[in-house]
Structure 1
Amino acid sequence: MKSLHPPRPGRLLWALWLLSVLSASSVCAWRLKAADLRVYYAAARSYFYHSGPMYGPNDVFGWPMFYRYPPLFLCLFRPFALLPLRAAAGLWAGLKVFLLGPLLRMWCRRFIAPARLLPAVSLSALLLMPYFVHELESGNVQLLLVELVCFALLLGDEHPFVSSLLLGLTAAIKIWPAFLFPYLAL
């Protein structure tokens, strides 16, 4: 006979994380706003599948919705352009929420005592939730870059090569991570 034990906290957190990923993917695919994601999607489809221009007006968007990122980002975004727009929006949002799980785990293990974990994460979530929801709705690449920079900073001591690759990748997509290079050189 099975005894009734409450689930371990690790399993509960894992289930909440998985539920968050699925919820974000579903909501972002269902309520498709994603103005920035549409630009990435249209530019990738225009360039890779219709031999259109990478920059400037394309078949879907004209001014002011031009694609503004380096070619590397468009190449990395190409698999999403293979999918229908709603599926791409859902996977894009799901990827960003998915990466939050390991990032929060690494951050909490390194910086927060177990007794302060719940208040710290709750307060942070409460303060950042409006920005997080807006970022998921717009489909911008910014949250993904912030997550990759945070991974790079957390991995810097144990895995400097991986850390430098992540920082280089983010700086190749947007310039602001390069501002960390002088700080890290010290």
Structure 2
Amino acid sequence: MFFKNSKTLWAGIAISIMAGGFAYYVASHPLDFRVYHYGARGVFDGTRPVYGPTSGLGWPMHYRYPPLFLLLFAPFAVLPLGWGAAVWVVLKVGVLVWLIGAIAALPLGEGEKKRLNRPPLRGGRRPLGRMGCWLLPFFFMAPYVIEELRYGNAQFFVFALTAAALLIARERPMLSAASLALAIGIKVWPLFFVPYLLARRDWKVVSYALVFLMAFTLLPSFYFGFRGNLDLLGQWFSQEFQTQLSESEIWFPNQSLRGVLMRYLTVMDYS
């Protein structure tokens, strides 16, 4: 028991040191977080528009999220930039630890049970245990997780909300729907999981998610007014349409689906 508790203690200390190190770094080097912070503060104090080339830090670091994200980000906008960035990354580490724990606690599948119950391999070697199977994904994912924590993008929270929704879809469909709807309300890409849930016949999750999504989309109306919120949604859609689909809009070929397709299927002029 002591050994188990001591391992938990040392793991907690290591995670706390890691979170503190990232918090210290991003407090003085906020990257994407700076765009959210300046953009939100500018909107709330009336010095910057919500959308357009002068929003956020100005093009190409302008504000690109739906109005809902402004309300969710408001508590961080109240804090000084450095403190807000530090709290942001500590929250990410906490969510990451919870997510890993939730995945590790999933019951073993039939295939995994059979693999673990196999007789020893030649030379007496046993099959990799469950923790051993995490090593390869860890080495693949670690660089991206580090970059995510360093840049301070909101993408991680969207991923966590989507993953949580899929993890609890069968046990807690309403909470799963709320989590998925909030993710879709911030970024569009979690919408691609709706057909997957339909194929699994998770009707409750899909139907509740649509209701929650409508509610979350209208939530900024309490601050901007109903017409103001609709106008902002129209501005956001127009801005993203021009960025993603217009040939006249210059944009960087990033790791998004559009960016990857552009690199492989079109001729890119990097000059």
With normalisation by structure 1, the TM-score equals: 0.85
Larger radius of gyration: 2
Aligned to 2:24: 29
Q: Is the 8 A contact 1:69 1:174 kept in 2?
A: yes
Q: Counterpart of 2:129 in 1: which secondary structure?
A: helix
Name which of structure 1's ranges 21-30 and 123-132 shifts more when overlaid on structure 2. 21-30
What amino acid sits opposite 2:91 in the alignment? L
Per-residue deviation at 1:51? 4.9
Per-residue deviation at 1:52? 2.9
Aligned to 1:75: 71
Aligned to 2:174: 161
Q: Is the 8 A contact 2:22 2:89 kept in 1?
A: no
Which residue among 144, 147, 151 is the counterpart of 2:164?
A: 151
Aligned to 1:140: 153
Residues 1-186 of structure 1 aligned to structure 2 (within 5 Å):
6-9=2-5, 12-13=7-8, 15-17=10-12, 19-31=14-26, 32-56=28-52, 57-58=54-55, 61-110=57-106, 116-186=129-199
What amino acid sits opposite 1:96 in the alignment? K
Per-residue deviation at 1:93? 0.9
Structure in which a larger fraction of residues adopt helix: 1
Per-residue deviation at 1:14? 5.6
With normalisation by structure 2, the TM-score equals: 0.60
Per-residue deviation at 1:43? 0.8
Q: Counterpart of 2:93 in 1: which secondary structure?
A: helix
Q: Counterpart of 1:52 in 2: which secondary structure?
A: coil
What amino acid sits opposite 1:150 in the alignment? A
Q: Is the 8 A contact 1:39 1:66 kept in 2?
A: yes
Once residues 80 and 131 of structure 1 are traced to their aligned partners in structure 2, the CA distance between those partners, rounded to angstroms, is 24
Q: What is the CA deviation profile of residues 54-110 of structure 1, one whole-angstrom value per residue up to 9, with x for unaligned ones?
A: 11314x722211000001111101101111111111111111110112211121121
Let me know the Cα RMSD of the aligned residues. 2.3
Once residues 25 and 45 of structure 1 are traced to their aligned partners in structure 2, the CA distance between those partners, rounded to angstroms, is 26
Q: Counterpart of 1:116 in 2: which secondary structure?
A: coil
Once residues 39 and 96 of structure 1 are traced to their aligned partners in structure 2, the CA distance between those partners, rounded to angstroms, is 18
Which one has more relative contact order, counting CA pairs under 8 Å at least 6 apart? 1
The runs of 5 or more residues in structure 2 that have no matched partner are 117-127, 200-271
Q: Is the 8 A contact 1:96 1:143 kept in 2?
A: yes
Aligned to 2:224: none
Name which of structure 1's ranges 89-98 and 47-56 shifts more when overlaid on structure 2. 47-56
The runs of 5 or more residues in structure 1 that have no matched partner are none
Q: Is the 8 A contact 1:28 1:137 kept in 2?
A: no
Q: What is the CA deviation profile of residues 7-64 of structure 1, one whole-angstrom value per residue up to 9, with x for unaligned ones?
A: 325x533652464245324434335333211101111111113453111314x72221
